[in-house]
Amino acid sequence: MPAFSLEPSHTARCAELRALAEERLRPLAEKGEPGQVNRPLVAELGRLGLLERLFTAGALDLCLMRESLAYACTEAETALALQGLGAHPVHAHGTPAQRERWLPAVGEGTAVAAFALSEPGAGSDAAALSLSARPDGPSRWRLTGEKCWISNAPEADFCTVFARTTPGAGARGVTAFLVPADRPGLTGTALDMLSPHPIGALAFDAVPVSADDVLGEVDRGFRVAMGTLNLFRPSVGAFALGMAQAALDATLAHTSRRDAFGGKLRDLQSVAHTVAEMALRTDAARLMVYAAATAYDEGAPDVPKRAAMAKLLATETAQYVVDTAVQLHGARALQRGHLLEHLYREVRAPRIYEGASEVQRGIIAKELYAHLEVP
C-alpha cells in the first residue's frame, strides 16, 4: 500500500477516533489539572481499547491514531503516546514476568508508564548519560543520579530507566531497567513547564535493581532506546500534524466568515496565499510521516533516516502552521481557552523532545554519509 493512499477502513477509523476524542475524551481532559497525570482520562483510553492497540498496532496505525486524537483532544493523544513510549520497551524487550506484571495494567489504563532517558547534563545525547548503575553483588546494581524532563514523572507507576553500567563506554555501556515507582531511594518532583502535560524530574539515591529488572541485555540498552524512538518519532510527527490540521481548519473557517476591508478576510490575496502555504506544508509533512511509518512496518533499512526526517519536517511545519493561524486570527487567538492559544503552547515541545530538531538533522546527515559510496 503506498504511504499516501489510505484504505477506506483507515479513513473510517480516523473519523471514528476523532468522534471518540470529541465526545468521550475531551470532557475528561477538560476536568484535568495541567501538569498532572489525568488518570480518569488514561482509564477511559483503556476502556476504549486504545491502549491495548499500542502493543498490536504498526507504525502507520500508531500515526493515524495519534493524528486523529490530536486533532480533537491533544491531552488524550499525549496520554496515549506517553503510555506507549514508557511501556514499549517492556513489550519489545521485557521478560515474560515483566510483561505479565505491567502490560495488562497499562492496556487497562490502571498503570501509568514513563520513559526516563533525558538528564540535566545530557539532554538529547543519549550516549552521554551519566546515571550510574554501580554493581551491588552478582547481577545487582544501585542506581544513582538524576533524570530530568521526564513525561508522566513523578506520578508514573513504573519507569523505563536508562543507566550507565560500564563507565567510559559511550552508547555500548548503557542498560535499560524497569523500575517500579515504589523502589526505595526513588523520588521525584513535578516541573512547571510551558506544555500542559505532566513533566518531572527523578532522583535516584542508590535505588536497588537486579537482573530481573533488566530490559533486553546488560550494556545493550542504547538499542532499546533507539528502537523505541525509531517507532515513536514518526508518530510525534503525526501528533504535530493533528495540531496543524486543527489550526488550518480553524483558519479556513475564520477567514471565510471574518469581515475585512469590504469583503471577507479570505478575499485578500495575501491571506489566501498564506492559507494555501499552510495547507501545502501540512500535506507535504503528512506524506513524509506516512512514508516513514510504512518504511518501519516493512522493515526498510533506512528507518532511522526516515523517522528523523518525518519528525523534523512535521514538527517544524506544525510550528509554522499554528503560529500563522494565530497571526491570521489576531488577538482573539491569544485569549486563554481559545483553541489556538492551547495549540500554541502544545506545539512548541515536540520540536525538542525525543530528539530536538538539530539532533534530527544530525541523524539524517550521519545516515546519508554512512551510505555514501565514494569512488
**Residues assigned a catalytic role:** 354
C-alpha distances in angstroms, 169 versus 100, 127, 129, 173?
33, 9, 11, 5
With 0-12 / 13-18 / 19 or more C-beta atoms within 10 angstroms meaning exposed / middle / buried, residue 270 is exposed
Specify the pLDDT at position 7: 78
Specify the pLDDT at position 2: 38
Q: How many CB atoms lie within 10 A of CB 152?
A: 26
Q: Would you say 129 and 144 are in contact if contact means Cβ atoms under 8 Å apart?
A: no
Going from N- to C-terminal start, the domains of the chain cover: 8-108, 114-219, 223-370
CATH number corresponding to 223-370: 1.20.140.10
Domain made up of 114-219: CATH architecture: Beta Barrel (2.40)
What is the pLDDT tens value at each position of the chain, 375 positions in all? 334 567 788 888 899 999 999 999 999 999 998 889 999 999 999 999 999 999 988 899 999 999 999 999 999 999 999 999 999 999 999 999 999 999 999 999 999 999 999 998 876 676 788 899 999 989 999 999 999 999 999 999 999 999 999 998 888 899 999 999 999 999 999 998 887 789 999 999 999 999 999 999 999 999 999 889 888 888 999 999 999 999 999 999 999 999 888 889 999 999 999 999 999 999 999 999 999 999 999 999 999 999 999 999 999 999 999 999 999 999 999 999 999 999 999 999 999 988 899 999 999 999 999 978 766
With 0-12 / 13-18 / 19 or more C-beta atoms within 10 angstroms meaning exposed / middle / buried, residue 30 is exposed
Residues in a beta bridge with 329: none
Find how far residue 291's CA is from the centre of its chain. Answer: 18
Specify the pLDDT at position 126: 67
Write down the pTM of the prediction: 0.91
In whole angstroms, what is the distance from residue 67 CA to residue 63 CA?
Answer: 6
Specify the pLDDT at position 108: 96
C-alpha distances in angstroms, 291 versus 185, 279, 302?
44, 18, 11
The residue assigned the cell 530536538 is 356
**Nearest CA-CA partner of 218 in 177, 170, 160:** 177
**Nearest CA-CA partner of 183 in 167, 162, 203:** 203
Average pLDDT, rounded, for the chain: 93
In whole angstroms, what is the distance from residue 8 CA to residue 71 CA?
Answer: 19
The correct CATH number of 8-108 out of 1.20.120.430, 3.90.1150.10, 1.10.540.10, 3.40.50.150 is 1.10.540.10
**Pseudo-torsion of CA 276, 239, 49, 155, nearest 10°?**
-150
SS (H, E, C) the chain: CCCCCCCHHHHHHHHHHHHHHHHHHHHHHHHCCCCCCCHHHHHHHHHCCHHHHCCCCCHHHHHHHHHHHHHHCHHHHHHHHHHHHHHHHHHHHCCHHHHHHHHHHHHHCCCCEEEECCCCCCCCCHHHCCCEEEECCCCEEEEEEEEEEEECCCCCCEEEEEEECCCCCHHHHEEEEEEECCCCCEEEEECCCCCCCCEEEEEEEEEEEEHHHEECCCCCHHHHHHHHHHHHHHHHHHHHHHHHHHHHHHHHHHHHHCEECCEEHHHCHHHHHHHHHHHHHHHHHHHHHHHHHHHHHCCCCCHHHHHHHHHHHHHHHHHHHHHHHHHHHHHHHHCCCCHHHHHHHHCCHHHCCCCCHHHHHHHHHHHHHHCCCCC
